Amino acid sequence: MPTTKQVFIAVIGAGGVGKCFLSQLSALATRKPTPKLSLCYISSSKKAVFNSDYNSIGIENALQELSSSSKSPLALSQIADYLAGAPSKAVLVDNTSSQDVADAYPLFLSRGISIVTPNKKAFSGSYKLWQDIFAAASESGAKVYHESSVGAGLPVISTLKDLVETGDEVTKIEGVFSGTMSFLFNSFAPVEGSGGQWSAEVKKAKELGYTEPDPRDDLNGLDVARKLTILARLAGLPVESPTSFPVQSLIPKELETVSSGDEFLEKLPGFDSQMEETKSAAEKQGKVVRFVGSIDMASKSVKVGLETFDKSHPIAALKGSDNIISFYTKRYGSNPLIIQGAGAGGDVTAMGVTSDLIKVLSQIA
Ligand SMILES: NC(=O)C1=CN([C@@H]2O[C@H](COP(=O)(O)OP(=O)(O)OC[C@H]3O[C@@H](n4cnc5c(N)ncnc54)[C@H](OP(=O)(O)O)[C@@H]3O)[C@@H](O)[C@H]2O)C=CC1
Ligand SMILES: N[C@@H](CC=O)C(=O)O
Ligand code: NA
């Protein structure tokens, strides 16, 4: 019979972030034998591995077992039943970008199943979903953490929560919130040198694991809009949705209707001149162009899009996939609290998920 010091873990999604999470989970299970972490379910969109008697799946071999499995994933309501019936507490780790999985969070939480996730969809969907998630968690006592939904593993959500919960008042949040956009502009329009070809940099960002599963979700500005929706809500602004404020898209008009991400990437080189024009216009003023976002609490305004910056500006000087996020608050006055570092990539994102899991374990086990 398992003791209360055992926690069952279900992992949905084993892509770039999911794979890195499994490797961190394996190290965590070895380093900290208590509570005993029992991986009881793992799935991709097409396959799953689980045992109806909750026997643990070896974390080290989970990916191999998943790729050779002949089982289909359970329906979300079945996963909730399965985890609610586990012999002790269970945690769902959602490493997908699925809206369907996100929509089921209130169900999981109401059944006492805690959630950790880098998926932005639940927290930036309708305001009702946001309310349902936190109401379900508070009623059942299940925990929900989503640090990597903004700034990957950077401590953005935890910092904002700490500011608010200790009574500070956020007045403005601004910065670079997309690892993909940061990488693209840092390499396409660097402060020094001529930079690469736009469409080739987009392909590179995908290969490096920075983009969303469909890179159009980054280029249309929606990924940044989702992050700002999450931060605005946490700061006390009940933003209705990521499409309820101005968001600039970098998708060429001619490619707005292509049916797949792959077709989009194939056709993008034909439209490189559009981004070249934007870059030259900034260069003519001695500046560089970057993709940024801001939330102004007093005017209740949120915006996402391109802006030009002096080459000496900290935003212009970012490297790689770095994010930079400035919190202006009553306490910090005119010198904002600034968080900077890699904002995308499998390992740094999984780090946020694993550290959330550690927080949950310390509260439920
Ligand atoms: N990559 C990054 O740098 C960051 C990512 N994130 C977030 O992390 C999440 C994962 O990103 P990433 O790993 O890069 O994406 P990937 O596309 O690499 O992986 C997504 C995984 O989810 C699986 N999946 C999709 N839908 C379902 C479903 N309904 N049920 C079960 N499995 C499903 C896919 O399965 P299949 O392989 O069968 O398609 C795949 O294994 C996203 O929400 C993203 O926004 C957050 C911060 C940074
Ligand atoms: N596609 C996103 C991944 C992290 O949220 C990004 O590039 O920032
Ligand atoms: Na984060």
Average pLDDT, rounded, for the chain: 97
Going from the Cα of 245 to the center of ligand 1, the distance in angstroms, rounded, reads 26
- Using DSSP, state whether 291 is helix, strand or coil: strand
Q: Rounded mean pLDDT of 10-39?
A: 97
Pocket test for ligand 1, best of 24, 43, 96 (most atoms within 8 A of CB): 96
Helices (H) and strands (E) in the chain, counts: 14, 11
Q: 152, 121 in Cβ contact below 8 A?
A: no
**Tens-place pLDDT, residues 227-267:** 999 999 999 999 999 999 999 999 999 999 999 999 999 99
**Tens-place pLDDT, residues 54-81:** 999 999 999 999 999 999 999 999 999 9
Q: Is 19 a catalytic residue?
A: no
Cβ(117) – ligand 1 distance below 6 Å: no
pLDDT band at 53 (very low <50, low <70, confident <90, very high): very high
Report residue 263 as tokens.
Answer: 């077709």
Cβ(14) – ligand 1 distance below 6 Å: yes
**For residues 315 and 319, what is the distance between their CA atoms, to the nearest angstrom?**
9
Of 21, 75, 25, 84, give the one whose Cα is nearest residue 48.
Answer: 75
Going from the Cα of 75 to the center of ligand 1, the distance in angstroms, rounded, reads 17
Residue 96 annotated as binding site: yes
Catalytic position from the list 89, 206, 227, 287: 227
pLDDT > 90 fraction of the chain, expressed in percent and rounded:
99
Torsion of CA 15, 18, 24, 25, to 10 degrees: -140
**For residues 184 and 208, what is the distance between their CA atoms, to the nearest angstrom?**
12
- From the CA of 96, give the closest atom in ligand 1: 22
**For residues 9 and 55, what is the distance between their CA atoms, to the nearest angstrom?**
12
pLDDT of residue 311: 97
For residue 56, CA distances in Å to 52, 76, 116 come to: 10, 20, 20
- Chain centroid to CA 333: 29
